[in-house]
Structures are given as structure tokens and as C-alpha cells.
Amino acid sequence: MSTDSLTAGKSTRRKSSRAAKPDPQSPDDTPRRRKGLSERNRPLWMLIPGGLLMVIIIVVPLLLGIFMSGLDLDQYSLRKWVSAPFIGVQNFVEALTASPLLHAIWLSVSYSLLAMVVTIPLGIAGAVATQNAFKGRAVIRSVFLIPYVLPSFVVATVWRTMFQPGSVVDSVLHSVGIDPGLWLNGPQSYWTLILVQIWASWPFVYLLALSGLQSVDHEVHEASALDGALWWNKLRYVVFPYLKGPLSLAFLIGMLHHINNFTLPFVLFGVPAPSDVELLPILTYVTSFQSFRFGLSAAMAFISLILIAIPLFVYLRAVKLDDAETPGGKK
Amino acid sequence: MKFASSAKFAAVALTAALALTACGGGSTSSGGSAGPVDGKGKKLSVLVNSNANYPAQQKQWFTDIAAKFKAQTGADVEFETFASGNDELTRIQTSVVSGQGPDVYSLGTTFTPTAYATKAFVTLSDDDWKKVGGKDRFNQAALGISGPDAQHQAGIPFVSRPFVMAYNKDILKAAGIDKPATSWDELAAQAKKMTNPATGTFGLATGYKDNFDPWKFIWAMSVQAGNPLVDGKTLKLDDPTVKKAYETYFGWLTKDKVVDPASVGWSNSNALAAFASGKAGYLMMTTSSSVPTLEKSAVAGKYAYTAMPTTAPGQTSPQGDAANAASILSGDNVVVADYSKQKDLAFAYINLITSKDEQLNYQKIFGDLPANAEALKSLNNPILQPVADTAAKSKATPFTGAWGDIQLALVNVVVQSIPDLSKGSVDDSSLQARLKDAQTKGQASLDRASK
């Protein structure tokens, strides 16, 4: 994740600088490109080692996973897994009709969305608040990053301890006359998860928002000041457009990260998880490693992959993150 | 998850392929069964669980055993450790699939049926048993979960860790109780006498949020009431005995009010801490591995172990075989991988670590009871005596590959009931519904096992 944010920051900066200078790689700049290293002569063979690794690490396991989802693979057939009985789409049927998969997908997606909806304004507020230099800004900025650098395992362990019945959180709330009920079991556990996720992940949005703010050119600030824009107008019409790109990226990565987050719910709630927080990764884990239904679990993973890929694809097309021609969104 | 596991999978497959080409044909099978095994120049790979309580001692033990093994056979031993059950499972899975990995594994008893179901481990022949010192060498009760029947056994008992309860002698005495309870009803009655919320003292300490403890209670009470839970191909979680067991277990909190209300969020270690601070009369479902903690606590010298009740709730004396179901058969087994090319060496190693002297030595360092019958008999530590007695009165959990799922379903009933528990009552219909769900899931898994 940290590298993600770094590259994201760099790319925004690069994009905005491109806007000023002519881009040697841009498609409408064809004469210039011919002068450089031509596309035909690029030493593409140098990609072979990396490409090979990608095939081994990503493509082969993906294909294996899809293959496994068609097998009746469990602890009884694991040893000779290639010859496990092929049962076609039965695993998929079972996953969709006879397992809590759909419920788990709903929980995962809704919790991720809720967490993101809260973290984005938080992140922007944090970034805007530390944009202008003041005494102690470096300290504040570092403090903001603490939740982000702590390992998920540590975060979850500490929160779990605090949320124990009769522990710190309860006694504080009791002292002001509130009986909070159970945090780690029952319906409230869903909100506990969202709360901890917000705490742990808002600095990521903050980082990306900060990188977006850094890319606002001085001239723009000056121009808006000359035009007499007040702080809100300036923020709304001048600064926010710069943030659209980085924040879209933050939203995308954040959602994927939340949906795939295993450590946090696993450490917070344990296994078997309360049914209110039986998220997708937990369900897949339990199916694989407690019930040993590897085939079924592969089918579950594949279904969720597709379900996530559809909105992801639509979203990527919509925001055109990969298009260098719209740096930082519309200005 | 899929990516991670299958990536590992591919990596293992790849390394396996590389390793195979690297050492192609270099291996020779070790000599016959007669005489000491000659393992010169060989290396045995052993996977054991890392001992979180005694990491330094465990390292020392590795070194000592390796030296002794080298002296006996000339071969080296390489120890690898796993931190959690899941860790081990991953190792077993990758090894099972690739046919390469450790020669000897150490397994928890309740995991043995699952491991056996993979058929990746050696089912010992009479000849093989001789190589590890003979079947007679072991505490016969400990062999109960080595395989589906006496002829098909893969797990060689290494240590016993029977579950008992600890009690605070002072608190019992103050409440006028002269001897610990032997029936679950009596236990609740005694616990009531000892409970005093004003001083924060409760009759029982147990963790409802523990990932394992709850199913052991339900298993014990049901088995003692004559329901083995798994009867051939039928799962019997929808039986009244099981419901009664849950009601008793939940009742401590909701009706008898003899446990700390906070224990809905406790695991076993929280319960141990409560007992160690002198705030509980009984500590339920503990093992001899709690000795080090208790010896350093406020209750040092004031506690004793005893077997948990064997009379099912609602009954007055143990029925049928109930007296022999004081605990699940618990501890560690060692198994030899089927793919191992040095099985004789592996058996020689097991022969060494299950010998009387080594077993006693292990007990002294780590607290786990010997599986070696002679060594078990020679123990004379009064604190451990009741635990050692329980080792002979332990009953094996059903030997089926579906047990993992059944166990999970049993715990799940408790997990989903915790919100109700914390409110003060678990209503009958929701308990019934949860039991039905557990029955359906467990039976489906059992069907797969007997397919």
C-alpha cells in the first residue's frame, strides 16, 4: 500500500507537469515520437524475465484457481488433487445457493463503501489542515500517519482489547451513563469493524489528498486570489478539481483493500465469526482451511472476483485513470 | 485468499520440480528393519509446534535431542516450527500436494482424523510399531485417536494434555465445600455458594468467546449423557442431550449467575487470569500447561487440579461409560509422512523421543504429560497426579475427517448466542434454530466423509 501511495503521488505530479510541457509520448505528437526510440525497435525481449514471473505468480495460480473451482477438492482428495472428481459448476451452484456467500459479499461491499465514504472527507480535511506551513506541522503530519504504518494485526489486537466487555471503552461510556452493549459480537460488531477500519485507513486517503494538494500550481492560487475567490469558493472550484484523480485512486484502492481485508476482522472477531461480520475473506478462509472445501472455496473466490471486477471495470472506464490526457481531472 | 494460496501452491510446485531435478536419483532407501538404523550423512526433517511458553527451553531441547539422535544413528535432525494450527495446515497441504516436506509431523489429537483423511501419512504396520518401541510402550488410552481402529493407526502418541479443572482451595473451604464437584449439577450448586458479586468473586471462570473451549463442554456433557455426537454416519446435534448441554453451559451465566458477566468476551487465557488473581472458585477446561502461570500467581500453593464432572446434567451418577469421559483425548501425536524416503530413520527418531527417559525429561521442561506408559506411571508430583489420572480417563473424539467442521459448528452455536447471553437469556427457539443449523452443516460434512 505504501508504494501505491508513493507512485500515486508521483504520477499526479508528473501528470500536472506534463500539462505544461509537450509530452514526448502523447499520441497526437506523432512526429516527435518517430525521432525517438521507435516502437518497433524497443527491446521488448527485456520484459521476458518479468513477464515470466508475472505468468508464474499471477496467471498460473489464477488458472489453477479456476480449475480447482470445478473440482470436488477436499481433504479426502487433496493428495491426488489433479485427479479429484470434476463436478463442473456444482461448486458455483452450492456457493450461490447453499452458502452464506451472497450475504458475505453484501457485508464486505457495504462495509467497505461506508468506511470509504467516511474516510474521504476525513482525509481531505486532514490534508487541507496541514497544507499551509505552521509550527509543528511535521509532527502533526507524522502523527496522522501512525495508524497507517501500524501493522493491521497490531491495530486489531489493540482495538479488540479495548472493546472487550468491561474494558476501557465500556468503562468510559459507563462513566457518562451509556450502556454500549457488545462490541465484538452481535449486530454492533459490523459498526465496530467500520469504526476500526476508518481509524486504520483514513491516513491513506489523507496521503493521496495531500499529494493532490501539492500539485496545485502556485499560479492557480495567485490567480484565484486576484479574482477575489474566498476560501470556500477557492476550495470548491480551484482545489478540489485537482484532487479528483488522486481521490478516485484512493477510493478504488481503498475499496479493494477493504474488501480483501482479512487480518482486521479475523483478529477482531476470531473464527467462527459472528454472522454479522462474516465477510468474504473470512468465509473463503473458513471454507478452505476449517472445512477443507478447497473446490468450493475456489468457486467462492472466483465469483467474488467477477463481482468485484465488473464495477471495477466500469469505474476504470469512467474515470479513465489510465489516460494521461486528463491530468488531475478537469480543471 | 485464492491468489495467496494458489501462489504458494505454484511456488511449492516449482521448488519441488527444481529440487527433484537437482537431486535426481541420488536418494537410496535406508536399510532393513533389523539393528540400529544407519543414518550417516542423512538429515531428518521434523515439524513441531513452537512452544510459546518456553521458547528458550525448546531450542535447548532441539539441540539436545539432535545430539542424542546423531549419537544413535549418525544422522542430523532439522527442526522446523509452526506458530499456529493454520500455519501447520498450510505446511501439510503444500507437502501433501507436492509430496515433499518434513519427514515427521507433530499433530494435535483432534486434528489427527483430518490428517489421516488425507492419506498422506504412514499407517503403521506391526513391524513399524516395533521400530518405535512397540505399541505396549504407550499409555493405551492415548492410542484412542491414532486411527479409525486398532489396525489402522497413523498417529504415535507423544504427549498427553488432558483437560481438567483447577480449584481454589481457600475459596472452596470458605464456602464450606469439602470436596470438588463430580457432577455438573453439583458444580453449579457449589459455584453458587462461592459467588459473591460484591467482592467480584465468582464460582466458575470460563471463556465463552474461546475458539475451542465451548465445544469441549458440549461434547463432554453430551457424551456423558450417552450421546456420542457421531453415530456411524449420523450426526446427533439435534438430540435433547446436546440442547441440555448448551442450556447448562449457558445457564452458568444466565440462570445460575456464577460466572463473571464479562466472560462473554473472554478466551481461556482471560479465565486463567481471573482464576490466577484469586477471583474464581473453579477454573474450567484447563491443562497442566497452566502450572507455570499459576505457580507465579496470587493462588500459588492454594490451588489443586481435579477431573471435571463426569455425571451428565440432570443425573445423579455417571451413566454407562461416562466416568471415562472426563476429558477429550488431548495432546500431540507424531506422524510420519508417506512420501518420506527415510521412514526408518523417522521411526528411530520417534523411538528416541517416546522413550521413558526422554518423556520424563520433556515433562519436566514443558509440563506436558508423557504418552509413554512407564513414564506416566513413574510421575510422583502431587499437583499433577489428578491430571495424570485424567489422562487414563480421557475419551477420543469421533474419528472422522468431518470432525473439524462439527467442532466449528458446535462453537458457532455459542458465538452466535453471545449477544443473547450478554442480555441475560438465550431463548429456546433461537437456540433450537442454531442447533438445527449446526446439525445441517455438520451432517453435510459427515456425508462427505463417509462418501
B6 closest CB neighbour out of A61, A270, A292: A61
Model confidence band, residue A4 (pLDDT cutoffs 50, 70, 90): very low
Shortest Cα–Cα distance, A4 to chain B (Å): 19
What is residue A23's predicted lDDT score, i.e. its pLDDT? 45
The percent of chain A in helix, strand and coil, each rounded to the nearest 5, is: 70, 0, 30
User: How many C-beta atoms lie closer than 10 Å to residue B297's C-beta?
Assistant: 17
What is residue A26's predicted lDDT score, i.e. its pLDDT? 46
Model confidence band, residue B3 (pLDDT cutoffs 50, 70, 90): very low
Residue pair B251/B188 in contact (Cβ under 8 Å)? The answer is yes
CA–CA separation, A309 vs A260, rounded Å? 13
Model confidence band, residue A236 (pLDDT cutoffs 50, 70, 90): confident
Is residue B332 scored above 90 in pLDDT? yes
Q: Which tens digits make up the pLDDT trace of B193-240?
A: 999 999 999 999 999 999 889 999 999 999 999 999 999 899 999 999
Non-local CB neighbours of B309 within 8 Å, separated by 6+ positions: B181, B182, B183, B184, B186, B187, B224
Partner-chain contact A79 B86, CB within 8 Å: no
Cell of A65: 484457481
Is residue B299 scored above 70 in pLDDT? yes
3-class state of residue A68 by DSSP: helix
- The arithmetic mean of pLDDT across residues B230-256, rounded, is 96
CA–CA separation, A232 vs B303, rounded Å? 69
Cell of B99: 509430496
Query: Could you give all domains of chain B from N- to C-terminal order, each with its CATH number?
Result: 37-161+329-395 (3.40.190.10), 164-327+400-449 (3.40.190.10)
A61 closest CB neighbour out of B7, B114, B416: B7
Q: Which tens digits make up the pLDDT trace of A298-331?
A: 999 999 888 788 778 877 777 665 545 444 444 4
What is residue A330's predicted lDDT score, i.e. its pLDDT? 42
Q: Of the given ranges (A96-105, A269-278, B94-103, B130-139), which has the lowest mean pLDDT?
A: B94-103
Partner-chain contact B418 A57, CB within 8 Å: no
Question: Residue A63's closest chain B neighbor by CA?
Answer: B6
A181 contacts in chain B (CB < 8 Å): 422
Cα pseudo-dihedral B265, B269, B270, B271, rounded to 10: 100
- The arithmetic mean of pLDDT across residues A72-87, rounded, is 84
Q: Which tens digits make up the pLDDT trace of A95-122?
A: 999 899 999 999 999 999 999 999 999 9
* DSSP string for B104-122: EEEEEGGGHHHHHHTT-BP
3-class state of residue A205 by DSSP: helix
A167 contacts in chain B (CB < 8 Å): 265
A94 contacts in chain B (CB < 8 Å): none
Q: Which tens digits make up the pLDDT trace of A16-47?
A: 444 444 444 444 444 444 545 566 677 888 99
Q: Where are the alpha helices (DSSP H) in B288-342?
A: 291-295
What is residue A38's predicted lDDT score, i.e. its pLDDT? 62
Per-residue DSSP letter, B356: H
Model confidence band, residue B19 (pLDDT cutoffs 50, 70, 90): very low
Going by C-alpha positions, the residue among B194, B186, B305, B337 that lies closest to residue B248 is: B186
| Backbone dihedral angles phi then psi of residue B424, each to the nearest 5 degrees | 115, -10
CA–CA separation, A63 vs B164, rounded Å? 49
What is residue B87's predicted lDDT score, i.e. its pLDDT? 77
Partner-chain contact A288 B448, CB within 8 Å: no
- The arithmetic mean of pLDDT across residues B397-403, rounded, is 91
A274 closest CB neighbour out of B2, B96, B415: B415
Q: Which residue has the higher pLDDT, A216 or A163?
A: A163
Query: Could you give all domains of chain A from N- to C-terminal order, each with its CATH number?
Result: 2-23+89-319 (1.10.3720.10)
Model confidence band, residue B91 (pLDDT cutoffs 50, 70, 90): confident
Residues of B with CB under 8 A from a CB of A: 1-3, 5-7, 9-10, 14, 86, 89-90, 93, 96-97, 114, 117-120, 209, 211, 261-262, 264-266, 270, 401, 404-405, 408, 411-412, 415-416, 418-419, 422, 445, 448-449, 451
B90 contacts in chain A (CB < 8 Å): 289
Mean pLDDT over all residues of chain A? 83
- The arithmetic mean of pLDDT across residues A70-85, rounded, is 85
| Backbone dihedral angles phi then psi of residue B365, each to the nearest 5 degrees | -80, -45
A62 contacts in chain B (CB < 8 Å): 3, 6
